[in-house]
Amino acid sequence: MRPPRHASRPPLIAAARRPTSWIRTACAGGLLAATLFAPGAHAQSGTVRIAWIDPQSGMMAPLGQNQLRSWQYAADYATQKKLAGDVKFEIVPFDSKLSPQESLTALKSIIDQGIRYVVQGNGSGVALALNDAITKHNERNPGKEILYLNYAAVDPSLTNEKCSFWHFRLDINADMKMEALTTFMASNPKIKKVYLINQDYAFGHSVEKAAEEYLKKKRPDIQVVGKDRHPLAQVRDFSPYIAKIKAAGADTIITGNWGADLALMVKAAKDAGLTADFYTYYAGTTGVPTAMGAAGADRVNIVANWQPNDPKMKGQDILEGFKKKYNEDFYTMQTFEGMALLADAMKRTGSIEPLKVAYAMEGAKVTAPNGEIEMRATDHQLQQPVIIATWKKVDGKTVKYDQENTGYGWATQAYLEPYVAAQPTSCQMKRPAKP
């Protein structure tokens, strides 16, 4: 149940678990200006290697490569600014090939190399496999634990029945995104017929289920006129799916598709002259803005935790610096959130040991470029503001920054405080002995 709208913010964790200090970050004259409040705590020096496991080959490689550079950029910043004292951060990439089995093979190599931190995001199937394997490894190998930062795999089960002390999710999960999206959609009387199309795996299933459930509660008059699931990262031609959507008479499409799957679907819709509006999770990811172009203007919407044209959000220096260095767009703000949380925990504990860092991250609060965020201690699900934005032509005011040099970017339609999208959790977390 969502708290009443008049509540400023629910008490997500017990006061006893709130840290007495945290990292505060705000943009000022550089990427981020950081002030660390941790009297008497200094993390030991040395290099912390962070294994990145995501696709570097196959259809989703462009997305993965952009996110790898985003992690490298955030890690370099944290090192240069000494956010964790004299600790240096290094990102070590491993190609998941979007396969759980390939990712588990990579994890074995990571363990053999003595790497104690893992980040991953693309594919909840991969995330579920890693979460289980890392938890079992840690139970069997005390003193050699691995901490797992999940920055984009949003299957709700990861912070519900499959929650783990060693897993921390930096993104808003699929149910949180749909809560925000349908809250916004409910106020639009033009929406009458909705079509659901999603990738055929755990995440896509959760998007479909949440869309039906939340629309029924908030707008029972809306008709779901069709549902489709398609193989992940295998479809090259979406025109048959688009033809079904047109035939169903849908005025609105809801999709959790990401990467090449969304880019190719949007392109097929444009080629077929489909006039339905899109409500998406990932229309800002690599390749999709180019596929949309002018045809997506005023019709494609996105739910996100950050976008640079929002007047309440910071991080424009990150965007500009990343563009200057790599000549591509920055959009994965979870990378900076993750590095801020890690650095803060290491600074406060004076340790780089995953067990101590994990306990310090529970309940940690950070003022990040997208506002105040909090790592909820009960399930390790990051609580943060959520926005709904629409694809519009750059005007220098509402839309200053475009994407992929299209001349179009995102204009915020709704800014939702964390409690609006917050979801209850069924997590019954098993915690190791506290150091």
Kindly report, residue by residue over 80-101, the tens digit of the pLDDT. Answer: 999 999 999 999 999 999 999 9
Q: What pLDDT was estimated at residue 45?
A: 76
What single letter denotes the amino acid at residue 133?
A
175-304+387-419 homologous superfamily: Response regulator (3.40.50.2300)
Residue 418 φ then ψ, to 5°: -50, -40
| Spatial separation of the C-alpha atoms in residues 47 and 67, rounded to whole Å | 21
Token pair of 236 as six digits: 């090259």
Q: What pLDDT was estimated at residue 34?
A: 38
386-398: buried (b, 16+ CB within 10 Å) or exposed (e) per residue? bbbbbbbebeeee
Q: Please, which pLDDT band fits residue 254 given cuts at 50, 70 and 90?
A: very high
The reported pTM is 0.89
Radius of gyration over every alpha carbon of the chain, rounded to an integer in angstroms: 21
- Calculate the alpha carbon distances from 174 to 158, 211, 280, 351 in Å: 11, 10, 11, 33
410, pLDDT greater than 60: yes
Interval 284-304: pLDDT, tens: 999 999 999 999 999 999 999
Percent of the chain residues topping a pLDDT of 90: 88
Residue 231 φ then ψ, to 5°: -60, 145
What average pLDDT is seen over the chain? 91
Three-state DSSP class for residue 173: coil
Any idea which architecture 15-172+313-384 has in CATH? 3-Layer(aba) Sandwich (3.40)
Quick one: which of 294, 194, 210 has its CA closest to 248? 194
Token pair of 367 as six digits: 């003022």
Cross-strand partners of 367: 24, 372
Q: What pLDDT was estimated at residue 17?
A: 33
343, pLDDT greater than 50: yes
Residue 271 φ then ψ, to 5°: -65, -30
Question: Residue ranges of the domains in the chain?
Answer: 15-172+313-384, 175-304+387-419
15-29: buried (b, 16+ CB within 10 Å) or exposed (e) per residue? eeebbeebbbbebee
DSSP 77-106: HHHHTTTTTTEEEEEEEEE-TT-HHHHHHH
Three-state DSSP class for residue 178: helix
Q: What pLDDT was estimated at residue 62?
A: 96
Three-state DSSP class for residue 427: coil
248, pLDDT greater than 90: yes
Mean pLDDT of 404-422: 95
Q: Please, which pLDDT band fits residue 42 given cuts at 50, 70 and 90?
A: low
Cross-strand partners of 280: 255, 302
| Range list of β-strands (E), 200-299 | 223-230, 252-255, 277-280
Q: What pLDDT was estimated at residue 366?
A: 85
Interval 11-41: pLDDT, tens: 222 223 333 232 343 333 333 433 333 333 4
Interval 344-387: pLDDT, tens: 999 999 999 999 999 999 999 988 899 889 999 999 999 999 99
Q: At what angle do helices 202-218 and 124-140 cross, to 10 degrees?
A: 110
Quick one: which of 111, 191, 97, 201 has its CA closest to 155? 201
DSSP 116-163: -EEEE-S-HHHHHHHHHHHHHHHHHSTTS--EEEESS---GGGGTTT-
Quick one: which of 171, 249, 252, 179 has its CA closest to 209? 179
Q: What pLDDT was estimated at residue 367?
A: 84
> Do 15-172+313-384 and 175-304+387-419 show the same overall fold?
yes
Q: What pLDDT was estimated at residue 37?
A: 32
CB 167 within 8 A of CB 120: no
406, pLDDT greater than 80: yes
CB 366 within 8 A of CB 383: no
Q: What pLDDT was estimated at residue 411?
A: 98
Q: What pLDDT was estimated at residue 29?
A: 33
